[in-house]
Chain A
Amino acid sequence: MSQLIKKRRIDSYALAWRLPIIVWQLLFFVGPLLFLIAMSFFLVKNYRMVETFDLANWARMFSKDYFWSSYLYTFGMASLATVVATLIAFPASYALAFKVSDNVRRWAVFFLIVPFFTSYLVRTFSWYVILAESGIVNSILGNVGLGPFKMLNTPFGTMVGFMTLVLPLLVILQTLSLSQIDKNLIEAAHNLGCGRIRTIYAVIIPLAKIGLVVGALFCFILSFGDFVSPYYLGGSSPPTLSILIIDTTKSGQQWPRAAVVAICMMTTLFVMAFLAIRFAYRKPAS
């Protein structure tokens, strides 16, 4: 009996500590999310939202070709950004985790954090100087008789922006994940005749799978929802779903239709996150 009372006391103590985050999430995530869902059924009349329950916004957005074009383009670019960023980040993370001293790793992580000291928008605009037809890259290529290449206002420009956004974070996540691997297991693999490449995909990647997948997931989430790079480096041509949200609200203040797009984006991310986490924690078949 006294043990039960004690357990109850401990539970309320623990709950008190958990309460702030629960309240926070309810107020600033669940509440707005429910409002967003409700808003997608409202109508706009004379630039004012009328609270009602009407499926017109859903029917309208789903019937528009531009919605599906934007959806496919956004999904494709975010997927490509995830693959490209993962492939670029992994060798760097591997080197930082296994090939350098602790001191060098600490400095490297510090320098990977430094880009976040400046605004992402400022970092994006700085690419104008580098990627413009009269910019630094084309000047260098021009010296060896190449170019000029059009890089701004193209999907390539958008991809460069995505890499600016996600690569530092991805390298940090991967490095932290790889650093947790027990080095004895790698040595054991080598002792048992496992080559370097095979050790990577047979030992290191499976052991760091959760961190690597979570890193890739973050990469997908950030790229999928990004507005700045597709607009300023991609020239909004073609537009992504984030740009479509802006366009929809700009003309006629159609917030309910923008809510439909936003819910579709969130649903996509929810499904992707669910699949990724499930894959990350799936135990290998014995």
Chain B
Amino acid sequence: MTKKIDHSKRTFMKSSTAVAGALAMPMILTSNKARAAPVEINMLAWYGHGESDVVGAYEEANNVKFNKKYYSGGDNMLALISQSPPGTYDLILSDAEFVMQLNEAGYIEELDAADYNFDDMLHEDFKKFPGHWKDDKLFSVMVRFGHLGVSYNTKAMSAEDAMSYKSFWKPELKGKVGHFDWHLPNLGMLSLHDGNGANLWDLDEAAWKQVQETAMSLRPQVGGFFDYGGTFNSLKNGEMQAMCGIGDWITGALERDGASVASVIPKEGGIQFTESYSIGKGSEKAAEVKKFIQHMLTPEGQLRSTEMAAYPAFCVTKGGRALLNEKNPKEAKRSGQIVGEPNEPIHLINEGRIHYRDVPVQQSLEDWNDFWSDYKNA
């Protein structure tokens, strides 16, 4: 039995109104949502932290929008803040060694330690990271870190050879050793080469002179000084086969693309870069920023941070690492974020092979920069 279709005008009007209503419903719902303008958070950070692979889902879920301003280097960050009116930046990502300077200049707000889950931190040091606390008051929260050592082309050098900074002087690498163009990690590494160990930043006159001589002896090996993009390219196309001043944050990104490069922490030790979030002084969005920092310490936030497309880094929390192992075991294995791996970052710290990046103690940054200019011209 076939049902007769009613073609009357009334039926047509009723049906089409129902269909139109059904079709319009999602738009009505979304337009209600869209009517609430997103909260805009001004972020000052290294490149990559405000990109959609890191904050996209958070923006969507919390109706916020990050207006990102990227910098390159702690000096640059301090200058941008000092030249802007208070409250310009709500959220500041800083290298740990610059947090103290941010605090002393009064550029960041005090945080409530009870707001952040420090119990989940992977290492005791991360709970009270140097410079992040002052007079038992918290000013910055560590969210990711990475290790710097010898980065090399795996076709040109074995991991065993790369296990010492001395490998930079190998005759077959003449003209093939590159520098990331920033004096701090490079001279820090040469200080480690000279056996300064934990005192790598605290150099007396004789030790500083020795580091300069070591650097000058390396100069004939050096093929160039590169920024972020140049470092990527020169390692990828094989122009540079060893690189001083970087670590997995660059080779890791290349490895993910299949390039034959890697980084190791040499026996003389490696350097840790540490990235931390603070709330800008005078920010009117402090509550929203606090919520975001809390999110970045959740397993999901940590996973996005460690997988950041721009440059990888390690998780700081147990929860983050567990989720990484579950969701992306390949990356966990590659970066050594599995207990028992020889390059497991916490193990390296506990072994005393990792030294937190700092600024020179007995010299000024200007002294180091002046020498760096001399070195480049030599």
Contacts of B369 in A (CB 8 A): 247, 251-252
* In the complex, per-residue mask of B275-288: 1 if CB is within 8 Å of any chain A CB, else 0: 00000000000000
Given A66-B374, A66-B376, A235-B226, residue A153 in contact with residue B234 (CB < 8 A): yes
* In the complex, per-residue mask of A212-248: 1 if CB is within 8 Å of any chain B CB, else 0: 0000000000000000000110111111000010010
Task: Please tell me if B2 contacts chain A, counting CB pairs below 8 Å.
Answer: no
Task: Contact check, B373 vs A64: say whether CB atoms are below 8 A apart.
Answer: yes
Task: Please tell me if A69 contacts chain B, counting CB pairs below 8 Å.
Answer: yes
Interface size on B, residues (CB 8 A): 35
Contacts of B233 in A (CB 8 A): 125, 128
Alpha-carbon distance between A45 and B175 when the two chains are bound, in angstroms: 39
Task: Contact check, B79 vs A247: say whether CB atoms are below 8 A apart.
Answer: no
Alpha-carbon distance between A247 and B373 when the two chains are bound, in angstroms: 8
Contacts of A125 in B (CB 8 A): 233
Task: Contact check, B223 vs A235: say whether CB atoms are below 8 A apart.
Answer: yes
Contacts of B377 in A (CB 8 A): 65-66, 69-70, 238-239
Task: Please tell me if B82 contacts chain A, counting CB pairs below 8 Å.
Answer: yes
Task: Please tell me if A106 contacts chain B, counting CB pairs below 8 Å.
Answer: no
Alpha-carbon distance between A132 and B223 when the two chains are bound, in angstroms: 13
Task: Please tell me if B83 contacts chain A, counting CB pairs below 8 Å.
Answer: yes
Q: Which of B69-77, B245-253, B341-349 contacts A (4 or more CB under 8 A)?
A: B69-77
Task: Contact check, A253 vs B76: say whether CB atoms are below 8 A apart.
Answer: yes
Task: Contact check, A236 vs B175: say whether CB atoms are below 8 A apart.
Answer: no
Which residue in B83, B183, B222 is a CB contact (below 8 Å) of A251? Answer: B183
Given A47-B75, A47-B78, A236-B181, residue A153 in contact with residue B365 (CB < 8 A): no
Task: Contact check, B230 vs A231: say whether CB atoms are below 8 A apart.
Answer: yes
Task: Contact check, A46 vs B105: say whether CB atoms are below 8 A apart.
Answer: yes
Interface size on A, residues (CB 8 A): 31
* In the complex, per-residue mask of A47-73: 1 if CB is within 8 Å of any chain B CB, else 0: 110000000000000001110011000
Name the prevailing secondary structure of the A interface residues. loop
Task: Please tell me if A8 contacts chain B, counting CB pairs below 8 Å.
Answer: no
Contacts of A232 in B (CB 8 A): 230
Alpha-carbon distance between A66 and B219 when the two chains are bound, in angstroms: 15
Task: Contact check, B72 vs A250: say whether CB atoms are below 8 A apart.
Answer: yes
Contacts of A25 in B (CB 8 A): none
Task: Contact check, A237 vs B82: say whether CB atoms are below 8 A apart.
Answer: no
Given A48-B83, A132-B238, A235-B224, residue A252 in contact with residue B366 (CB < 8 A): yes
Task: Contact check, B79 vs A253: say whether CB atoms are below 8 A apart.
Answer: yes
Given A128-B237, A133-B238, A235-B225, residue A46 in contact with residue B373 (CB < 8 A): no
Contacts of A180 in B (CB 8 A): none
Beta-carbon nearest neighbor of A235 in chain B: B224
Task: Contact check, A65 vs B374: say whether CB atoms are below 8 A apart.
Answer: yes
Task: Contact check, B239 vs A237: say whether CB atoms are below 8 A apart.
Answer: no
Min CB gap A254→B, angstroms: 8
Min CB gap B357→A, angstroms: 15
Most chain B Cβ neighbours within 10 Å, of A48, A64, A250? A250
Beta-carbon nearest neighbor of B222 in chain A: A237
Task: Contact check, A238 vs B376: say whether CB atoms are below 8 A apart.
Answer: yes
Task: Please tell me if B370 contacts chain A, counting CB pairs below 8 Å.
Answer: yes
Alpha-carbon distance between A89 and B183 when the two chains are bound, in angstroms: 41
Contacts of B79 in A (CB 8 A): 47, 253
Alpha-carbon distance between A141 and B181 when the two chains are bound, in angstroms: 32
Given A132-B237, A235-B226, A237-B223: 11 more A-B contacts, CB < 8 Å: A64-B370, A66-B373, A66-B374, A66-B377, A132-B238, A135-B237, A153-B239, A236-B225, A239-B376, A250-B75, A252-B366
User: Can you spell out 22 A-B residue pairs with CB atoms less than 8 angstroms apart?
Assistant: A64-B373, A64-B374, A65-B377, A69-B377, A133-B237, A134-B237, A134-B238, A152-B234, A153-B223, A153-B239, A235-B224, A237-B222, A238-B376, A247-B181, A250-B72, A250-B73, A251-B75, A251-B365, A251-B372, A252-B365, A253-B75, A253-B79
A interface residues with partner B (beta carbon < 8 Å): 46-48, 64-66, 69-70, 125, 128, 132-135, 150, 152-153, 231-232, 234-239, 244, 247, 250-253
